Structure 1
Amino acid sequence: MTDWAAVRADDFAVPADRPLDELVGELSGMLRSADPVARDSTAYSTLATWIGRGVLSEGQLRELGDEMAKRFGEAEIQARTFAPLILDCIVSAGVYEASWVPPFERWYVAETDLRGYDAELGWLHAVAHGADLLGTLGLYPAVEPVEMLRLGIGRLLTPTEYVLRDMEDDRLAYALACTLTRSELTVEDATQWLVPAFTGMVPIPTTVTALNTNTTRTLRALYVFVDRGVRLPGASKVTQIPHAAEIKVQLVEVLRQVSQSYF
């Protein structure tokens, strides 16, 4: 067994005493662990660093990506929620397979365990981790941006009794804002994905639901990004979002649907 604490202490230097495939396989297995130190501080941190540094070959990245796509069907929540983080790293490194997207989409809208942090399991972050991958896919040329926009609103409108916390709504808003920077989006593309929210939320004062709260908080954060622009991953400057005026009008109409007495 590798002394992974020593690897972390050595700035994640790749151990020379074992084949890389074995090391990656061990780390991949640790991503299922209920121990947050093993899963998050060790397995995720090491794999993310190695992927970012180009340690893994394209073939190894594709093999790891295939494994992560399968994880969306795992029984344990931590196994499911760390899969999108690794896929995010892989796609950000320029390796993409269309077959990874459908399992992600199915899981993201269907996941019922939306806890951000658990005292024993540590960070789970289904919505935030999924949002990170959604935003990366939303920027990827081979992915239809409207597909990711619809996935985002689908996640928000999936019935739940859990009110998001730990900035999950902001992470999803950022992912949607990144996707909205795609230049090929028409005005219709950039606004019509919001239409389901008109019937998916319940006007106040009828009731206050977790779904309403999660959706309005996310869309309010998105309004700020649309108004001010968004700093894309790795960018030094803010990118303005095309069709910002039309998107803001649509966002206001959705928010007014819920908060009619406020404005």
Structure 2
Amino acid sequence: MNKLNLLIIILIGITILACSSDDNNQNAFNQSQKLIKKITVSQNDISQSILTFEYGNNKLVSLTNDLDRKTEYAYLGSQLDYERILEYNFQTEIYDLEYEQTDFEYENNILKSDVVTVNGNPIQKHDYFLQSSGKIVLYNFFNFTNNQWNSGGSRIFEYSYGNIIQEVQTDNTDAVVFKLQYTYDDKKHPLKNLDIQIKRRIWGYRLNAMNENNILSYATYDENNNLLSSFSYAYQYDADGFPIEREKTDSNGQVVETISYEYE
């Protein structure tokens, strides 16, 4: 075999390996960029609610709780500009009853504060302090009463490996009101691939979006560190390590909630 033929064979081999590597990388990318489409919440096999996620230009544009409320997200460039919550109108059968709106303020492209209004009237605002990742470390909240903003307290977050391991709620004197403590699995969170701006908006209410992994247990304590309640969670996962079902169990061993997850 002459040198020219040998060189051609080597080049063909390199090209095949490169194409194979690109295909593998593309598959990994597609799996890692999985987006949540629907969450179904069932409680004690009695009540059920469905959260539906809608996307546009690779951003979450709405989150709908069936026959209840729809949250719309508006962007200015790459930044979340405002969030509007609409209630379902059973007469028109669409979400056209404005409930509240939250407008966001930034400083040097970093979230600084927001103001919540109902029918144009301010009711609450939050001042934020963030990690470099964009996750909330602390926020102070204020209630609008007697034509002025009055401190209501603070929420403080402690993280480990990208997960909230403790939340502490304080009042306007910095006294602890309650605290929450969490443990986690090592699998992917169902909202892993949402923008941090959205994760900050839905960090609570069963979604716990500011975490990298999934909650295995959480406990609530009062101001004197007395245990008030505790729950544990069990999951089923898909082949990519994302949860497809979650069962919530109370301290008596009773399953009190089941959540199923569907992805795009």
Pairwise TM-score range, normalised by the shorter structure:
under 0.3
TM-score by length of 1: 0.26
Higher strand proportion? 2
Higher helix proportion? 1
